[in-house]
Structure 1
């Protein structure tokens, strides 16, 4: 196929769009691959749509390769199945909801677990129909509060979602592993630098869960790794719990005057000046910080929540939100403080926290706050803190919460060494759903003994449109995009560098020979300067650039590798064979 740029629906830009925050967004818009239609909603232009379809092709080939069968569901879905599973409420404001002219409730599908479950329930009645794997590649919708980074976090996006159906847990494990291996092949073919990490299940439900994260500084997900091979999204990291400490001989708690110390930093400074320790200096790790937040439930109700954690840690809101799902986390406002007069801002202590205490606020503790640990914390009065407050003796929580930030150097939960932190873009997520949706929607089949059993399910997603942006983030330079060959909108970008008849004739002849050899060509035959053509060739990112210019008079053309920038002169008579070898490599 020859695509002539003189006829191509394309406009490239020299400047970054004003609303573009990250390189992939900047370059995909500048190169004319996508255009913004509304916040979080993008149109795909011809070259961009080719790249998107190439991602879809790779995904289809690998899904078909493990025996999954492709189906296609509507995007407009009825309320009832999602109400039966609980997700009509659990998704909260992230769900696009609408009514038809008769007042019936519908939604734009964020994922399709319920619809797949009902379809299989309608068709399959025996274990003989299992195992079964179905998938679709389709547009999804989520009403993101803050769409950002172009197609990395949009309100409309293309996703592959597949589902496995098995008679028992052993079958689910086998289906899960088949999908996992297929995902490794998919992301290898996409040319991504990625890591597989343990993850939480969130609103999807289920048990075992892993994410495939593309390495990227602009990624929204933070993950950890250890030298011994542990890897997890920070939301899934568990804190090693220290042993309890006997507190029979501990000092009694003492309330001390600590004027003007509403922050951890000021409290530590005053403590070391006015109440020095004999063995060492006080640090932030000796203090107990009590943070109040508001949980907003999907049905709109709100609940205050108190979190106690060591003062050298901040609360990681994403970790907390994962623990509290499906609730969303909101700040505790001045108005909230007025409704809870026993809370003294800057000096909150365990004395008023707990559903049975004066505040009535549920109180959860960091796993490090074990019986026998001693703390400096608020005394619930302005300018006063309590010292040597001992967990298990002087206060207790009403549960444990993994909400503290993970810091570089923290020990891995499995003992495999210190953790390091990195950021990534979630490209794929695989879940062992178990029987959550089958139970909710009554998916049962007859087993070998003629008894009804509930089917167990797996769910497996790939962000297809997000993959385009993730590859762009992984593979670009200061000149433009650099597509992996399997994704590129063409095999060769042929630059006609000059208007001389011999250049035009040679370029046309070579393009025709390449087309006949099954090599797709993006032919820049526009009546613009060579400088503009070269700049666009580097911006568009086709991996191999062929320059046909004055050298044809000497019987040579130049093959340029987009990634390395290295150019090689080749005889005109050899160029097609040389390019066939490059494209096939």
Structure 2
């Protein structure tokens, strides 16, 4: 490919609406073009990158006995009604009716389609286990698309579904897929991706992991222990709080607290530590708007994913009305309306003396003691784990909170979908059983953008050679010089004949502008041919990451390029286990 023919423009200015570097470079470098909010067209360099990532994924999925299939983008709503997700999934599922008034959806995930495909085929235990996968366009009506290909509405994803006759068999295959994912990310040039325990959310199931690329640009928060191998998404990380009874139990006393409705104002008013505050956070259930109040220690925050799991349905921030009987800013456990669901977080355990709302305007209660004043309560873990918190695995105060981008996930789904969609098989005894499922996803475009996010400098992307759009870029400086142009053309043809992926820039332009474009294209090896070097029979070869810089005799350049390409591949493959 010659740069002069390459579709897409590269420019100097930083786009104003880009919040992270990968988005900026992919717009600035001619990789993507916005079509609508969260929807992009892809220029040739991006398409080439994604194709390479997809091929790596295919090879690793085939290696663990996966069979590639293809599901429709548009699915009948009836399939989602079978699983129960047509109503339970929120607005991110795009629903519509066709010309026959049939309910339809745009697939955002394909568990239902997978079960539909194999439920007639897999009616005997002898058919198991097996795994099917696809690489397909999906649509999720994301409320807040951002960051280029990191969070979009339309995206390409690999999703795989395995079917088993026992939990033990699922766990064995889950471990194989776990390692396959590690190989995929290492081959893509990001071996630093970590697997963290996660919440299964709308997917269901009891065991799940997310693969996170740690970067400050990430939207997810990850709890990582510095003393052991514990890693978990904030949504799933157990929050362990140990309280000391520094203030002994006292009498219950109602006090006036005029204009003190926030935790900070109450702390200043009563002159007690924030850890002795019993904070109230109010939600409403999405299904019926019933109020749910979480009481927790004053310095902590509610983890809404944990709350959803505890109550079994989704919630939203409450709109407190006069009719509710809830006094905003002065909420406490004593005197609440009887139709309000109350949850006590485990962060309140062991505190003998608390300050809480009195459920009256401008009034709080001092000396509140949960056991004495409310009896035995069933504490739940509802809070977010904190930086410096206790590790759930080793028990040390060694948790740090990092940011990360989720580039993949795996779930042990159990029988959630096979039961709801009545997929059964006959076991060896002739009895009907429900297959057990696993689910394994990788966002292809998100992976590419994430690689760019962690592999770039101030000038542009530094693509790992395994997924780079081209392996080598030739820069012909002074194409108007006959010898230089002749040698550049010859080298281009030689590299093509050697099946090396080469991008050739022979435009008549300043060297600085040519190099700036080359930086934005991020090709791993750059070969510079100029009149000055031709006089010495030399060619300059450098790597995009600046670790390689040398001059070689022009007669040896092809062999040297082949050697360096192998070296770059070997460096990446050394991290593949």
Assess same fold via TM > 0.5.
yes
Q: In structure 1, what is the equivalent of residue 425 of structure 2?
A: 445
1:535-571 CA-to-partner distances (Å, cap 9, x unmatched) read 0111111111111112112101111111126421111
Displacement of 1:263 after TM fit? 2.0
Q: In structure 2, what is the equivalent of residue 472 of structure 1?
A: 452
Displacement of 1:260 after TM fit? 2.8
Q: In structure 1, what is the equivalent of residue 327 of structure 2?
A: 344
Question: Would you say 1:497 and 2:477 are equivalent positions?
Answer: yes
1:36-91 CA-to-partner distances (Å, cap 9, x unmatched) read 10000011111110001111011001001111000001100011111111111121
Q: In structure 2, what is the equivalent of residue 287 of structure 1?
A: 277
Contact 2:239 2:386 in 1 (8 A): no
TM-score (norm 1): 0.92
Displacement of 1:328 after TM fit? 4.4
Q: In structure 2, what is the equivalent of residue 278 of structure 1?
A: none
Contact 2:475 2:526 in 1 (8 A): yes
Contact 2:335 2:358 in 1 (8 A): no
What CA distance in whole angstroms lies between the structure 1 residues aligned with 2:54 and 2:209?
21
1:380-412 CA-to-partner distances (Å, cap 9, x unmatched) read 223322111001221269754443232211101
Question: Would you say 1:312 and 2:295 are equivalent positions?
Answer: no
Q: Pick from 534, 537, 542 the counterpart of residue 515 of structure 2.
A: 534
Q: In structure 2, what is the equivalent of residue 375 of structure 1?
A: 354
Q: Which runs of 5+ in 1 are unaligned?
A: 273-281
Count of matched residue positions in the alignment of Structure 1 and Structure 2: 561
Question: Would you say 1:332 and 2:332 are equivalent positions?
Answer: no
Q: In structure 1, what is the equivalent of residue 524 of structure 2?
A: 543
What CA distance in whole angstroms lies between the structure 1 residues aligned with 2:311 and 2:457?
40
1:109 and 1:396, CA in 2 relative to 1: closer, same or farther beyond 3 A? farther
Contact 1:235 1:322 in 2 (8 A): no
Contact 2:32 2:43 in 1 (8 A): yes
Residue pairs, 1:107-146, within 5 angstroms? 107-146=105-144
Residue pairs, 1:386-401, within 5 angstroms? 386-395=365-374, 400-401=379-380
Q: In structure 2, what is the equivalent of residue 147 of structure 1?
A: 145
Q: In structure 1, what is the equivalent of residue 155 of structure 2?
A: 157
Question: Would you say 1:555 and 2:537 are equivalent positions?
Answer: yes
CA RMSD of aligned residues (A): 2.0
Q: In structure 1, what is the equivalent of residue 254 of structure 2?
A: 255
Residue pairs, 1:222-241, within 5 angstroms? 222-226=221-225, 227-240=227-240
Residue pairs, 1:74-85, within 5 angstroms? 74-85=72-83
Contact 1:238 1:413 in 2 (8 A): yes
Contact 1:479 1:538 in 2 (8 A): yes
1:532 and 1:321, CA in 2 relative to 1: closer, same or farther beyond 3 A? farther
1:243-269 CA-to-partner distances (Å, cap 9, x unmatched) read 998x9x942211122333222222222
What secondary structure is seen at the aligned counterpart in 1 of 2:462? coil
Displacement of 1:513 after TM fit? 1.4
Q: In structure 2, what is the equivalent of residue 410 of structure 1?
A: 389
What CA distance in whole angstroms lies between the structure 1 residues aligned with 2:478 and 2:310?
62
1:516-539 CA-to-partner distances (Å, cap 9, x unmatched) read 222110001223222211001111
Q: In structure 2, what is the equivalent of residue 53 of structure 1?
A: 51
Contact 1:371 1:391 in 2 (8 A): no
What CA distance in whole angstroms lies between the structure 1 residues aligned with 2:15 and 2:150?
16
Displacement of 1:306 after TM fit? 0.9
What CA distance in whole angstroms lies between the structure 1 residues aligned with 2:379 and 2:499?
62
1:395-438 CA-to-partner distances (Å, cap 9, x unmatched) read 26975444323221110112342210101111111111111111
TM-score (norm 2): 0.93
Q: Which runs of 5+ in 2 are unaligned?
A: 568-577
Contact 2:199 2:305 in 1 (8 A): no
Contact 1:251 1:388 in 2 (8 A): yes
